[in-house]
Amino acid sequence: MANELPWIFHGFKKAAGNQVVQEWFDALADEIKDAIRDSLAYHAQLERHLWRRPGFDELGGEGISEFQFKAANTWYRIYGDYGPKRHEYTFLHGCEKKVKNDKSGKRIAKERNKQLERNEASVHVFGWKEDPD
- pLDDT for the residue 66: 95
Asked whether residue 32 is domain-assigned, the answer is yes
Q: Please give the pLDDT value at position 131.
A: 61
Residue 17 is assigned to a structural domain of this protein: yes
Indicate the pLDDT class of residue 1, thresholds 50, 70 and 90.
Answer: very low
Residue spans of beta strands (DSSP E) within 20-121:
56-57, 65-71, 74-82, 88-96
Question: pLDDT tens, 19-53?
Answer: 999 999 999 999 999 999 999 999 999 999 999 99
Burial (CB count within 10 angstroms: exposed 0-12, middle 13-18, buried 19+), residue 117: exposed
Structural domain includes residue 131: no
Beta pairing partners, 88: 8
Residue 71 covered by a domain: yes
Q: Is 88 within a domain?
A: yes
pLDDT in tens, 83-129: 999 899 999 999 998 878 889 999 999 999 999 999 999 999 999 98
Number of domains observed in the structure of the chain: 1
Residue-by-residue DSSP string for 24-51 = HHHTS-HHHHHHHHHHHHHHHTS-GGG-
Whether pLDDT at 132 is above 60: no
Contact 69, 77 (CB under 8 A): yes
> pTM of the predicted model, to two decimals?
0.91
Q: Decide: 52 and 46 in contact? Cβ < 8 Å.
A: no
